[in-house]
C-alpha cells in the first residue's frame, strides 16, 4: 500500500524522499553561534531516523539576533565548516537539509532556559535587543531599541549574507523565520509594531520588512533551491496578527518567490489562550494552501502516523513537521512506516533490528 506521507515531494530542483520533516528546535548548545558535535549527533540522528527534511534550529543572522547566548548562528564565515559537515552527514542518510534564518528581535539577550530563562546580566554578555518599537515582550524581558531605517537595511543585508553562507554549507532549503514573536513577526503585528513610518500602520507597511528580506534572500539563494517562510498564522490575541492577514501574506510571498509557507501560530504576546489539541494548527495550513495555492507545511501536536498521513492525504498540507515527537523518538518516520505497512529506508548498520521484507532493499539502495 502506498501512503501519501511516504511519497516524494519536489520543490524547485529538490526532491524530498517523503513528506516528514524535523521542525526547527532550539538546542541552546552553541558558543558564539558555532555548531558542534551536539548538533551533528542531534540532527544526524533524525536523518538516520528516516525524515525527508531535517531543519536546523533558528540560526541568528547577526549577533544581536540571537534569542539566547547559546543559540546557533550563521553571521560569519567561520560558522560554515561545521555546518557543512552536518549537511554532508544528513545527505549521506538520504535526507535533505534545511537551515532556518532568524532574528530574535525583542525576545533576545536571554539565558538558555535550562533552570529558568532570564535576561542576561552585563557580566554574561547582555546586549540591547532590537524591535520595531520600544515595547517589551513582557516585564521579564528588556525594552528593545526601535530600529531606524538604516538599521533595518542592515538586517535585510544580514539575512541575505546568511543565505549565501547556508548555500556554501550545502543546505538544500533555507527558511526565513517570521513567526513566534521574533523580529519579522514583530513587524507584522500591531501588538509589537506601533511605528508611524513606512514600516508601520497599514498591512502593506507591516509586511514591508518581511518582503524586503524575502527579496534579498531569494536574490542571494540559488534559483533552483526552495525558499520557505515560517509564519504564525494568528497571534491568538485581540488587535494582533490574524489568519485573514496570513492568507493575504502567503499570496504576496508566492509572488516574491517563496516556495512553501511553514504555518505555526502564537508567540507574539504571553498569556494568550490557545486551543491546544492534536493538529490544532493544521486548519491554518489547509486554508492558506486552499485559498492561495501556496504549498504549506503543518506543525503542532502531530504525533501519530495515521494523523500525519491523513493531513497529506486530505490536502491540508504538503509536508508535516514534527518537533517534540522527534525529540521523544528520533526514528519516528521508520516507526510510522512500520505502523502503516510502508517501506522505509533503514540505515544498513541497523538492519538487524528492522522489520523483514523490502525494507532491507530500501536501505541498501540508500547506501549506494
Indicate the pLDDT class of residue 358, thresholds 50, 70 and 90.
very low
Domain-located, residue 146: yes
CATH number at residue 281: 3.20.20.70
- Residue 17's nearest CA partner among 254, 362, 364 is 362
Indicate the pLDDT class of residue 366, thresholds 50, 70 and 90.
low
Measured CA to CA, the distance from residue 124 to residue 144 in angstroms comes to 18
> What pTM value is reported for the model?
0.96
367 pLDDT more than 90: no
Domain-located, residue 155: yes
Domain-located, residue 348: no
Buried b (16+ CB within 10 A) or exposed e, 162-201: bbbbbbebbbbbbbbbbbbbbbbbbbbbbbbbebeeebbe
Compute the residue count for the chain: 368
pLDDT at 361: 45
Domain-located, residue 366: no
275 pLDDT more than 60: yes
pLDDT at 29: 98
97 pLDDT more than 80: yes
Measured CA to CA, the distance from residue 278 to residue 307 in angstroms comes to 9
Measured CA to CA, the distance from residue 347 to residue 351 in angstroms comes to 7
Domain-located, residue 323: yes
Domain-located, residue 349: no
What is the per-residue pLDDT across 304-356, written as a single tens digit (0 to 9) for each?
999 999 999 999 999 999 999 999 999 999 999 999 999 888 898 998 888 87
Domain-located, residue 358: no
pLDDT at 2: 85
pLDDT at 360: 43
28, 141, 182, 331: the active-site residue: 182
Q: Are strands 53-60 and 96-102 parallel, antiparallel or unpaired?
A: parallel
What is the per-residue pLDDT across 15-74, written as a single tens digit (0 to 9) for each?
999 999 999 999 999 999 999 999 999 999 999 999 999 999 999 999 999 999 999 999
* Contact call for residues 351 and 365 (beta carbons, < 8 A): no
Domain-located, residue 351: no
pLDDT at 77: 98
290 pLDDT more than 80: yes
Measured CA to CA, the distance from residue 180 to residue 281 in angstroms comes to 13
* Number of domains composing the chain: 1
182 a catalytic residue: yes
What is the per-residue pLDDT across 201-236, written as a single tens digit (0 to 9) for each?
999 999 999 999 999 999 999 999 999 999 999 999
The parent domain of residue 31 ranges over 12-334
Amino acid at each position: 500500500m502506498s501512503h501519501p506521507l511516504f511519497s516524494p515531494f519536489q520543490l524547485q530542483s529538490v526532491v524530498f524522499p517523503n513528506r516528514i520533516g524535523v521542525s526547527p528546535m532550539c538546542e541552546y548548545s552553541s558558543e558564539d553561534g558555532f555548531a558542534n558535535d551536539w548538533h551533528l549527533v542531534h540532527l544526524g540522528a533524525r536523518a538516520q531516523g528516516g525524515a525527508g527534511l531535517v531543519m536546523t534550529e533558528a540560526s541568528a543572522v547577526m549577533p544581536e539576533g540571537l534569542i539566547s547566548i547559546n543559540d546557533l548562528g550563521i553571521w560569519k564565515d567561520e560558522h560554515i565548516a561545521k555546518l557543512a559537515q552536518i549537511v554532508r552527514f544528513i545527505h549521506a542518510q538520504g535526507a535533505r537539509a534545511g537551515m532556518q534564518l532568524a532574528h530574535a528581535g525583542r525576545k533576545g539577550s536571554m539565558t538558555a532556559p535550562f533552570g529558568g530563562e532570564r535576561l542576561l546580566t552585563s557580566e554574561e554578555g547582555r546586549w540591547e535587543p532590537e524591535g520595531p518599537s520600544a515595547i517589551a515582550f513582557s516585564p521579564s524581558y528588556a525594552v528593545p531599541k526601535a530600529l531606524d531605517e538604516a538599521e533595518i537595511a542592515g538586517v535585510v543585508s544580514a539575512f541575505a549574507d546568511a543565505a549565501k553562507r547556508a548555500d556554501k554549507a550545502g543546505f538544500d532549503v533555507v527558511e526565513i523565520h517570521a513567526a513566534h514573536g521574533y523580529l519579522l513577526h514583530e513587524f507584522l503585528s500591531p501588538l509589537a509594531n506601533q511605528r508611524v513610518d513606512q514600516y508601520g500602520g497599514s498591512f502593506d507597511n507591516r509586511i514591508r520588512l518581511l518582503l524586503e528580506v524575502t527579496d534579498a534572500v531569494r536574490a542571494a539563494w540559488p534559483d533552483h533551491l526552495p525558499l520557505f517562510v515560517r509564519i504564525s498564522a494568528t497571534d491568538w490575541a485581540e488587535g494582533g496578527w490574524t489568519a485573514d492577514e496570513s492568507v493575504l501574506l502567503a499570496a504576496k510571498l508566492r509572488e516574491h518567490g517563496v516556495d512553501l509557507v511553514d504555518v505555526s501560530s502564537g508567540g507574539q504576546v504571553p498569556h494568550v489562550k490557545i486551543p491546544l489539541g492534536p493538529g490544532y494548527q493544521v486548519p491554518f495550513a489547509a486554508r492558506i494552501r486552499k485559498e492561495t495555492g501556496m504549498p504549506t507545511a503543518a506543525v503542532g501536536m502531530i504525533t501519530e502516523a495515521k494523523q500525519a498521513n491523513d493531513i497529506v492525504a486530505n490536502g491540508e498540507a504538503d509536508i508535516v513537521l514534527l518537533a517534540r515527537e522527534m525529540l521523544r523518538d528520533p526514528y519516528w518516520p521508520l516507526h510510522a512506516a512500520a505502523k502503516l505497512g510502508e517501506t522505509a529506508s533503514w540505515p544498513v548498520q541497523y538492519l538487524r533490528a528492522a522489520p523483514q521484507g523490502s525494507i532491507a532493499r530500501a536501505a541498501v539502495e540508500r547506501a549506494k
